[in-house]
Amino acid sequence: MKATWHDGNRVDLLENGDTYFPRVFEAIRAARSEVIIETFILFEDKVGNALLEVLVEASRRGVSVDMTVDGYGSPEFSGAYLDKLREAGVRFRVFDPRRRFLGLRTNLFRRLHRKIVVIDACIAFVGGINFSVDQLDEHGAEAKQDYAVEVEGPAVARIHAAARKLIGVAPGRRMRSAKSMEAPGRGDCDEAGSARVAFVQRDNGRHTGDIEWHYRVAIRAARKRVLIANAYFLPGYRLLRALRDAARRGVDVCLILQGHPDMPWVTAATRSLYRYLLPAGVRILEYCRRPLHGKVAVVDGRWSTVGSSNLDPLSLWLNLEANVLVEDEHFATCLRDRLTTLAREHCQPVSRDGTDAGGFWSPLLGVLVFHVMRHAPRIARWLPAHAPRLKKVAPTEPDEAMDRHDAPSPADPRSG
């Protein structure tokens, strides 16, 4: 579970798509040899089309381009979209594609939920931001509040190795064992800064609990402050206990959680936890301006994490996830200041008894939902399972292209 740390990295915090997309597109335009992209959601909207154009341009000038989307999170794509990619030489794959049964998606578990972009094995982007217009401020009240990091330096080797491992499987074949993922990347990146960085992931092989384990270690070691902002908060019992124990020993523990619920039943389950955390002194704030999609944390002004992993059963037990850990005071201060501003300007504090946030409303229902969701992944493991696979996508015929009225909109309530 212990991560491999790398010194000498530059790490920049990117907040929301308005900052993230220009930086990613700029890096792709400057790529010399290779671009690898993984995303949970990609839509054929303003953002998806802009990504298409920069990838096509890069591939046409000789850059190797691979893009993988999740079969649950992303819709089918039009023939025109796929044709442009194919003609330019872009390799486009779908992770765990499954046919619908009675109109319902059947690939509910083991999703490719991580969001990774790697350029020339030396610059990487990791976080929670998908390629869709709902990550832009112009989307209005439903625009998602989110974060990612840009990393340059020796730590990118691990991120590159993980991305290459995923696409190193021939289309239609089962994924290789997780052990082969341990091989490092090219590792030829010069030092670019002073940050110490580690890449951690959650898979269904050797790294099933790594991300949650690192959260717990950081919280147990906290001496002054723990600040967590997470969109879907239903962690394991040990992490909850670590938060409560930290608050009881005098650590300022503050959680920024969803106050603009896109899935009310999940929010009800989360609020059932308030009666456990609030009496111990944990402060809880609900972000109410728009949907919270971030998955970030700062501990003691030194340790930080940014990534794709929610603190919920899907992310901690089933999905493929990726987070970056950073040990750097400057970066931690930057992230803490952004979250502090968010808390001050757009969050509603939850009172000690939790009643103002509905924390004690219908407590039985909330507790029931929480325990069902916590144990659902264990149950899912006993169901008939399948090994996720990659499929290289060929263009569809025009008359087979998906009816755009059936396409999920960027505002779909999906844990992305």
**Which of 96-100, 302-306, 410-414 has maximum average pLDDT?**
302-306
Q: Model-level pTM?
A: 0.86
pLDDT in tens, 259-307: 877 777 778 788 889 989 999 999 999 999 999 999 999 999 999 999 9
pLDDT in tens, 360-379: 445 555 556 666 666 666 66
Q: Tell whether the torsion through CA atoms of 157, 12, 16 and 302 is positive or negative.
A: positive
Query: Would you say residue 219 lies in a domain?
Result: yes
Question: Whole-angstrom Cα distance, residue 196 to residue 102?
Answer: 49
User: What integer pLDDT is reported at residue 190 of this predicted model?
Assistant: 86
User: What integer pLDDT is reported at residue 362 of this predicted model?
Assistant: 55
pLDDT in tens, 25-83: 999 999 999 999 999 999 999 999 999 999 999 999 999 999 999 988 888 899 999 99
**Residue with more model confidence, 313 or 123:** 123
Look at the chain and report how many structural domains it folds into: 1
pLDDT in tens, 153-185: 999 999 999 999 999 843 334 433 333 334 334
Query: Would you say residue 125 lies in a domain?
Result: yes
Which residue stretches of 171-278 are H helix? 210-221, 237-248, 264-271, 274-277
Judged against a pLDDT cut of 50, whether residue 143 lies above it is answered with yes
CATH code of the domain containing 222:
3.30.870.10
Give me the DSSP letters along 140-183.
Answer: GGGPPB-EEEEEESTTHHHHHHHHHHHHTSPTTSBPPPGGGGGS
Confidence of residue 402 (pLDDT cuts 50, 70, 90): very low
Which residue stretches of 2-68 are H helix? 16-29, 46-60
Q: Dig out the tokens for 364 from the structure.
A: 């039985």
| Domain containing residue 9 | 5-399
pLDDT in tens, 194-245: 999 999 999 877 888 999 999 999 999 999 999 999 999 999 889 999 999 9
Query: Would you say residue 407 lies in a domain?
Result: no
Question: Whole-angstrom Cα distance, residue 214 to residue 353?
Answer: 30
Query: Would you say residue 293 lies in a domain?
Result: yes
User: What integer pLDDT is reported at residue 186 of this predicted model?
Assistant: 43
Q: Which residues are part of the catalytic machinery?
A: 113, 115, 120, 293, 295, 300
- Contacts of residues 399-406 at CB distance under 8 Å and 24 or more positions apart, as own/partner, are 400/79, 401/76, 401/78, 401/79, 401/80, 402/75, 402/76, 402/77, 402/78, 404/78
Q: Dig out the tokens for 48 from the structure.
A: 């998806």
Query: Would you say residue 406 lies in a domain?
Result: no
Greatest CA separation found in the chain? 64
Find residue 292's DSSP bridge partners: 145
pLDDT in tens, 66-82: 999 998 888 889 999 99
Find residue 65's DSSP bridge partners: 35
For residues 305-315, give the mean pLDDT: 93
**Residue with more model confidence, 38 or 106:** 38
Find residue 150's DSSP bridge partners: 12, 125
Judged against a pLDDT cut of 90, whether residue 395 lies above it is answered with no
pLDDT in tens, 339-359: 999 999 999 999 876 655 554
Query: Would you say residue 327 lies in a domain?
Result: yes
Mention every residue, 6+ apart, whose C-beta is less than 8 A from residue 104.
none
User: What integer pLDDT is reported at residue 11 of this predicted model?
Assistant: 98
**Residue with more model confidence, 74 or 403:** 74
